[in-house]
């Protein structure tokens, strides 16, 4: 939840924007009525009570760029435990990034994120992550795409006849905690997956734009959204399967929903192999490859020491000057996001990155499960 003012988080900083000074500081509860106007304008979501809960309960703290006491730019921080290379590390999740229309493209968001990254660095947080509104925008701040996801849309009648739907049992929303052990086992399978607290589960399941139903399997679970299905398509918002049999049983469950309310089903996979092993369907499934989360190193020393990569430690070139100094002419150091990409094997190393770093943390596939 948003922290009260302390020496660590309440110090104001001044940044120059054109001919105006902006004050970069923690967003306090007294700022909320103005802050919510900036968020509502940016996101088109007007439920003030939900914004208040997001800013002061779900988030650990929020930072704003204030001009004449008005918060023209905002971002919040949600601290997660992240799985990486078999270790649990801290991740500063960035969310709620917004800027008022009159002050966009003035550098205010960058100033806010610089302050957040400074704080995370002081706290020796290993990485930061976010779901971007613009991938190129955040690349300029050292973040890099660290996984790809496969969105599958398939005619329900064309789904292979496999599995046993009765292995899934319906679960009431209030009993979501029965899903938490499965989620934890699922997230442990992947690099850069984020642990989900009970509070995060509650927020996930109370989104006003969705109506969820839950199904639990001994080796998985499914979250379906039944609200306003587009083109009679069942949206499987989250599908955890720890075994291929659990995947088959889930397909059987989806197949049972055909003909009445839904013609199609849509879900996301980290790997297409379980689907491809079932052979060719007709009509074939539509596969949309999409970018996942963006990630970057924050505290370089903590990152290499706490992830088992001490022997692969290298200097980093950081445009935000957090994990290392900014790039100069002829500089060949990797960026803070590139280091994670290379270590997980997401990209091949360029000539200036030591070969020893490549796939040094590739013991697990990278998949960003948590949306925030």
Give pLDDT tens digits for 177-214. 999 999 999 999 999 999 999 989 998 998 888 999 99
Alpha helices in 173-213 (DSSP H): 180-187, 198-205
Is 192 buried (19+), middle (13-18) or exposed (0-12) by CB count in 10 A?
buried
Phi, psi of 198 (to 5 degrees): -60, -40
Q: Is the pTM of this model over 0.85?
A: yes
Beta carbons of 222 and 250 less than 8 angstroms apart? yes
Name the CATH architecture for the domain at 13-125: 3-Layer(aba) Sandwich (3.40)
Name the CATH architecture for the domain at 149-289: 3-Layer(aba) Sandwich (3.40)
Q: How far is CA 341 from CA 122, 147, 178, 270, 308, in A?
A: 24, 9, 34, 16, 16
pLDDT for the residue 10 = 56
Residue 205 region by backbone torsions, left for phi larger than 0, else alpha for psi between -120 and 50, else beta: alpha
User: In the chain, which residues fall in CATH 3.40.630.30?
Assistant: 13-125, 149-289
pLDDT tens digits, residue range 103-134? 999 999 999 999 999 999 999 999 999 999 99
pLDDT for the residue 269 = 97
- Low-confidence stretches of the chain (pLDDT < 50) are 1-8
What distance in Å separates the CA atoms of residue 359 and residue 346, rounded to the nearest whole number?
8
What distance in Å separates the CA atoms of residue 108 and residue 105, rounded to the nearest whole number?
8
């Amino acid at each position: 939840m948003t922290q009260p003012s302390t020496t660590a988080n309440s110090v104001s900083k001044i940044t120059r924007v054109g001919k105006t000074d902006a004050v970069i500081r923690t967003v306090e509860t007294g700022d909320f009525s103005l802050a919510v106007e900036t968020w509502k304008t940016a996101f088109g979501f007007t439920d003030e009570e939900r914004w208040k809960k997001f800013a002061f309960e779900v988030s650990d703290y929020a930072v704003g760029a204030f001009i004449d006491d008005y918060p023209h730019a905002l971002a919040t921080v949600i601290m997660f435990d992240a799985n990486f290379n078999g270790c649990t590390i801290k991740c500063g999740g960035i969310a709620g990034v917004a800027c008022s229309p009159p002050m966009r493209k003035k550098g205010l968001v960058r100033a806010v994120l610089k302050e957040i990254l400074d704080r995370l660095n002081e706290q020796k947080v290993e990485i930061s992550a976010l779901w971007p509104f613009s991938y190129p925008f955040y690349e300029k701040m050292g973040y890099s795409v660290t996984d790809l996801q496969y969105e599958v849309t398939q005619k329900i009648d064309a789904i292979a006849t496999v599995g046993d739907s009765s292995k899934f049992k319906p679960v009431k929303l209030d009993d979501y905690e029965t899903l938490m052990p499965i989620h934890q086992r699922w997230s442990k399978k992947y690099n850069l997956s984020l642990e989900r607290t009970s509070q995060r589960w509650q927020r996930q399941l109370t989104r006003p734009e969705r109506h969820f139903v839950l199904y639990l399997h001994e080796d998985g679970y499914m979250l379906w959204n039944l609200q306003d299905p587009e083109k009679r398509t069942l949206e499987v918002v989250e599908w955890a399967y720890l075994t291929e049999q659990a995947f088959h049983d889930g397909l059987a469950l989806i197949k049972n929903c055909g003909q009445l309310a839904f013609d199609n089903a849509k879900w996301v996979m980290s790997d297409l192999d379980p689907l491809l092993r079932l052979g060719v369907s007709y009509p074939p499934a539509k596969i949309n490859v999409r970018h996942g989360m963006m990630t970057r190193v924050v505290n370089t020393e903590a990152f290499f020491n706490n992830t088992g990569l001490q022997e692969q430690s290298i200097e980093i070139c950081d445009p935000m000057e957090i994990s290392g100094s900014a790039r100069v002419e002829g500089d060949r150091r990797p960026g803070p996001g590139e280091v994670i990409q290379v270590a997980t094997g997401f990209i091949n190393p360029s000539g200036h990155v030591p070969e020893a770093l490549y796939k040094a943390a590739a013991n697990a596939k990278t998949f960003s499960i948590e949306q925030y």
